[in-house]
Amino acid sequence: MDYLWDKITEWLKEMLVGGITSNLSNMFDATNQKVAEISGEVGLTPQAWNASIFNMIQTLSETVIVPIAGAILAFVMTLELIQLITDRNNMNNVDTWMFFKWIFKSACAVLIVTNTWTIVMGVFDAAQSVVSHASGVIIGDTAIDISTVITDMEARLMEMDIGPLFGLWFQSMFVGITMWALTICIFIVIYGRMIEIYLVTSVAPIPMATMLGKEWGGMGQNYLRSLLALGFQAFLIVVCVAIYAVLVQNIAVVDDISNAIWTCMGYTVLLCFCLFKTSSLAKSVFNAH
């Protein structure tokens, strides 16, 4: 009877150890791949990320939004002229330099609207240059492989009792499902940011048309702040990944398998949380509210 029980126990141990080893080996593959792609994805300009979407947004902006921006520009500058004249003691103290000033502001406003796309893309080109330089300096190895971190894992697992092995197997299953969810979160942050960039840039001529208006100028200034926040959000994301890369290297000193699993998941959860916070943090830096 003891012999039969020993065989059943050995069979259960082999099955559980095989399941745990398989779960741990495949657990972080998708996350490792997605984290490794982050610095490359956020370092791309809107044109480089997807040329087809970029061309579509540019066409929509130039053919649909620019005429509307022209009408808004005419209204803003007309209002600016009326205020300029009426502010001079009800037209009793009118100087010719006022009209030259208005003409100059109008010419600059037209120049800004007609070159809006170049200005907007220049912001993201500058941000991409910063990200590319930062990636070469601070990004380290972000890959996690539990089987190589914990030596002689199978032998150590075979020494454990059935109860702890069942518990460890359930842990590996739960953490594996959680890691897939975190991978989706990373995907949402990266792709959501790029879609937001395309949406914001598509209507760029309208706020830019108000840039030089005395009362409407705040709209254009806030829009530029939003662009800077979106562009340099990529730098904050790269910094988050760099911090994550440093943290995962500390897993190599973890001897307990269960502790290593939860530590890896904890670092990944922290990374996702920080990625979600980069948007609000970038806006607060540039006061883009």
**H helices of 28-115, where?**
29-42, 46-49, 51-60, 66-86, 96-114
User: What integer is the mean pLDDT of 200-204?
Assistant: 90
79 assigned to some structural domain: no
143 assigned to some structural domain: yes
93 assigned to some structural domain: no
Q: Cα–Cα distances in Å, from 173 out to 27, 53, 59, 84, 274?
A: 9, 39, 48, 70, 25
C-beta separation of 98 from 84 below 8 A:
yes
Distance of CA 27 to the CA centre of its chain: 23
Express each pLDDT in 126-175 by its tens digit: 888 888 777 666 655 555 655 555 556 666 777 777 777 777 777 777 77
Burial class of 20 by CB neighbour count within 10 A (0 to 12, 13 to 18, 19+): buried
List the one residue out of 280, 191, 272 whose CA is nearest residue 229. Answer: 280
Q: How far apart are CA 249 and CA 93, in angstroms?
A: 73
Looking at residue 198, what is its pLDDT? 92
Q: How far apart are CA 194 and CA 160, in angstroms?
A: 48
List the one residue out of 217, 218, 222, 215 whose CA is nearest residue 84. Answer: 215
Does pTM surpass 0.85?
no
Looking at residue 137, what is its pLDDT? 63
Q: How far apart are CA 25 and CA 97, in angstroms?
A: 75
Side chain identity at residue 177, one-letter code? I
Q: Cα–Cα distances in Å, from 18 out to 123, 147, 276?
A: 52, 12, 36
70 assigned to some structural domain: no
Q: How far apart are CA 133 and CA 142, in angstroms?
A: 18
241 assigned to some structural domain: yes
Express each pLDDT in 208-232 by its tens digit: 888 877 777 778 888 888 888 888 8
Range of the domain at 177: 2-65+115-285
Distance of CA 168 to the CA centre of its chain: 34
For residue 253, pLDDT beyond 50: no
227 assigned to some structural domain: yes
Distance of CA 259 to the CA centre of its chain: 29
Within 10 A of 156 (CB to CB), how many other CB atoms are there?
Answer: 14
87 assigned to some structural domain: no
C-beta separation of 282 from 232 below 8 A:
yes
104 assigned to some structural domain: no
For the chain, the domain total comes to: 1
